[in-house]
Amino acid sequence: MNKKRKAFWLKQLHQWHWVTSAICLISLVLFSLTGITLNHASQISADPVIREHQGELPAELLSALAEQKNGPLPAAVQQWLAQKMHLQHTSGEPEWAADEIYLPMPRPGGDAWLAIDMNNGTVLAETTDRGWIAFFNDLHKGRHTGAVWIWFIDIFAVASLLFAFTGLGLMMLHAKRRPATWPVTVAGLVLPWLLIVFFMH
Asked whether the CA dihedral 161, 162, 165, 168 is positive or negative, the reply is negative
Kindly provide the b/e burial profile for residues 145-171, where b requires at least 16 CB atoms within 10 angstroms of the residue's own CB.
beeeeeeebeebeebbebbeebeebbe
Residue 170 confidence (pLDDT) above 90: no
CA dist 155 and 58 (Å) reads 45
Q: Report the pLDDT value the prediction gives residue 1, as an integer from 0 to 100.
A: 63
Instruction: Work out the mean pLDDT of the chain and round it to a whole number.
Output: 89
List all residues 6 or more positions away from 163 whose beta carbon is below 8 Å from its beta carbon.
17, 20, 21, 24
What is the mean predicted confidence (pLDDT) over 71-90?
90
Q: Report the pLDDT value the prediction gives residue 5, as an integer from 0 to 100.
A: 81
Helix ranges (DSSP H) in the chain: 3-39, 59-68, 75-84, 132-141, 147-174, 181-199
pLDDT, tens only, 171-199: 888 888 888 888 888 888 899 899 888 88
Using CA atoms, how far residue 188 sits from 171, 178, 182, in Å, is: 14, 16, 10
pLDDT, tens only, 7-58: 888 888 888 888 888 888 899 999 999 999 999 988 888 789 999 999 999 9
Angle at 199 between CA 197 and CA 201, to 5 degrees: 90
The 10 Å Cβ neighbour count of residue 114 is 22
Q: Report the pLDDT value the prediction gives residue 148, as an integer from 0 to 100.
A: 94
Q: Report the pLDDT value the prediction gives residue 68, as an integer from 0 to 100.
A: 84
Residue 6 confidence (pLDDT) above 80: no
Residue type for position 65: L
